Amino acid sequence: MIQKTIKLFITLVVEGLQRMMYGIFKFSARNVSHVETEGRIVTGQNFQSSSGVALKIIELINDAKNE
């Protein structure tokens, strides 16, 4: 119970800080891959996103080589 409360609190704090700094808070369902890219920044929501993040980084590197 305490762990769930702490996780919820941290999530709300992170989301609030991001919105204060004019960020966009995006997420997907639990245990589902979710990859976001902005420019050269690539991030994933959880460990299920690892392969998606790696593939996106490879794609960005290949695109940069072709420019």
Is the pLDDT reported for residue 4 higher than 90?
A: no
Contacts of 56 (CB under 8 A, 6+ apart): 35, 37, 42
Cα distance between residue 59 and residue 54, in whole Å? 9
Query: Helix/strand/coil (H, E, C) string of the chain?
Result: CHHHHHHHHHHHHHHHHHHHCCCCCCCCCCCCCCEEEECCEEEECCHHHHHHHHHHHHHHHHHHHHC
| Domain range enclosing 24 | 2-66
5-49 residue pLDDT tens:
877 777 777 777 777 776 677 778 889 999 999 899 999 989 999
Q: What average pLDDT does this structure show over 50-62?
A: 96
Query: Rounded to a whole number, what is the distance in angstroms from the first to the last CA of the chain?
Result: 52
Whole-prediction pTM: 0.65
Give the chain's domain count: 1
pLDDT of residue 2: 81
